């Protein structure tokens, strides 16, 4: 049921003008849709209860969503209820439809409240729509009993009342404290005011830090090059093949290439590392910061 181009007043007038169904007619229309997929019967049933959908949608206007969008979601919930309604259970369609309409509108409000997902569990949903009411109720009860609740005590009682954790209550309070704001919004009203994005900390390395890091890396490369120069040709080759390649060689492959056993290659590698460490410790001041 597309509502583009309709105003709230037009929709309300059309809903008020719709027929009122008695229980027998309502059940007959529901059976015609369920048993024969009679779309005319479905349309008549849904149209008759659009006033209920509009009434329920209007209760959520305080959340800032356009009324037309709320009515659209309410009508989707109404359609879902009509598809699943079983007239043989002896329940009036309006009683059954209320749950589907409310669920559809609530889901829409929560999806569009913030770019950050507001909540998905039943407890978070209950908090979103009832937090302020429950807080006011508990505060009144505490005052009547002569108590004064601090914020933490109030959160604890809300958590117990709703059946959620205190952390979830605290999180929802933050979510409901304000709507999303653009980081490109100016901090001041004047045109030359800084935007909020200008005050965010830059995580990238600063110039001084970048120079210091590059200096240290250059020094380390020099130390390693001089240390490798202290090895003989065979030791340098083993170290390069075992540690300086993107795809390091195995002891077996080096042994097969050089005509030595796997154990002998391991011994030469260990001896080369010992020479490297000794040279670095002797000739490179500050190398312990890197080792």
User: What residues does each domain of the chain span?
Assistant: 8-113, 122-176, 207-289
Model confidence at 31: pLDDT above 90: yes
100 or 11, which is more confident?
100
Residue 190's SS3 state is: coil
Query: Under the phi-then-psi rule, with left for phi > 0, alpha for psi from -120 to 50, and beta for the rest, what region is 91?
Result: beta
- Confidence check: pLDDT of 237 > 50: yes
3 pLDDT tier (thresholds 50, 70, 90)? very low
Count of helices and strands (H, E) across the chain: 13, 0
Q: Quick one: pLDDT band at residue 5, thresholds 50, 70, 90?
A: very low
* Of residues 65, 52, 46, the one with CA closest to residue 1: 46
pLDDT at 187: 63
CA angle, 74 then 77 then 78, to 5°: 85
d(CA 137, CA 135) in angstroms, rounded, equals 5
Q: d(Cα 104, Cα 73) in Å, to the nearest integer?
A: 6
pLDDT averaged over the chain? 81
- Could you tell me what percentage of the chain is helix, strand and coil, using 3-state DSSP and rounding each to the nearest 5? 70, 0, 30
User: Residue 38: its pLDDT value, please?
Assistant: 92
The answer to whether 230 and 278 are in contact (CB under 8 A) is no
**Domain pair 8-113 / 207-289, same fold:** no
pLDDT at 178 over 80: no
Q: Write down the residue that tokens 């969008």 correspond to.
A: 69
Q: How far apart are CA 5 and CA 59, in angstroms?
A: 22
pLDDT at 11: 61
Is pTM beyond 0.75 here?
A: no
pLDDT band at 190 (very low <50, low <70, confident <90, very high): low
Q: What is the number of other CB atoms lying within 10 angstroms of the CB of residue 25? A: 14
Look up residue 174 and give its two tokens.
Answer: 């933050």
- CA torsion sign for 118, 121, 122, 123 is negative
The answer, yes or no, to whether residue 231 has pLDDT greater than 90, is no
Q: Can you state the angle between helices 262-283 and 233-243, rounded to 10 degrees?
A: 100
User: Mean pLDDT throughout 26-41?
Assistant: 92
Average pLDDT over residues 77-89: 92
Instruction: Domain 207-289: state its class.
Output: mainly alpha
Average pLDDT (109-119) is 65
pLDDT confidence band for 35 (50 / 70 / 90): very high
8-113 carries CATH number 1.20.120.1810: yes
Distance CA 192, CA 203 (A): 25
Is a pLDDT exceeding 70 seen at residue 2? no
Lowest-confidence range among 33-42, 182-191, 269-278?
182-191
């Amino acid at each position: 049921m597309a509502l583009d181009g309709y105003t709230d007043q037009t929709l309300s007038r059309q809903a008020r003008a719709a027929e009122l169904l008695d229980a027998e007619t309502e059940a007959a229309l529901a059976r015609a849709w369920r048993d024969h997929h009679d779309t005319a019967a479905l349309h008549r049933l849904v149209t008759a209860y659009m006033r209920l959908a509009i009434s329920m949608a209007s209760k959520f206007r305080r959340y800032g969503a356009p009324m037309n969008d709320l009515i659209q979601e309410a009508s989707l919930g109404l359609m879902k209820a009509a598809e699943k309604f079983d007239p043989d259970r002896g329940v009036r369609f309006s009683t059954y439809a209320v749950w589907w309409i409310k669920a559809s509108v609530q889901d829409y409000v929560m999806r569009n409240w913030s770019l950050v997902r507001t909540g998905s569990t039943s407890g978070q949903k209950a908090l979103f729509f009832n937090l302020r009411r429950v807080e006011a109720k508990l505060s009144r009860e505490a005052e009547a009993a002569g108590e004064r609740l601090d914020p933490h005590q109030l959160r604890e009682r809300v958590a117990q009342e709703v059946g959620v954790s205190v952390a979830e209550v605290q999180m929802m309070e933050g979510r409901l404290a304000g709507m999303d704001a653009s980081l490109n919004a100016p901090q001041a009203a004047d045109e030359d005011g800084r935007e909020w994005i200008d005050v965010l900390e830059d995580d990238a390395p600063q110039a001084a830090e970048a120079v210091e890091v590059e200096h240290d890396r250059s020094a380390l490369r020099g130390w390693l090059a001089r240390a490798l120069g202290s090895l003989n040709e065979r030791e340098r080759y083993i170290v390069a093949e075992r540690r300086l390649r993107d795809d390091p060689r195995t002891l077996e492959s080096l042994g097969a290439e050089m005509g030595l056993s796997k154990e002998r290659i391991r011994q030469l590698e260990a001896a080369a590392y010992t020479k490297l460490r000794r040279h670095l410790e002797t000739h490179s001041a500050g190398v312990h910061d890197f080792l």
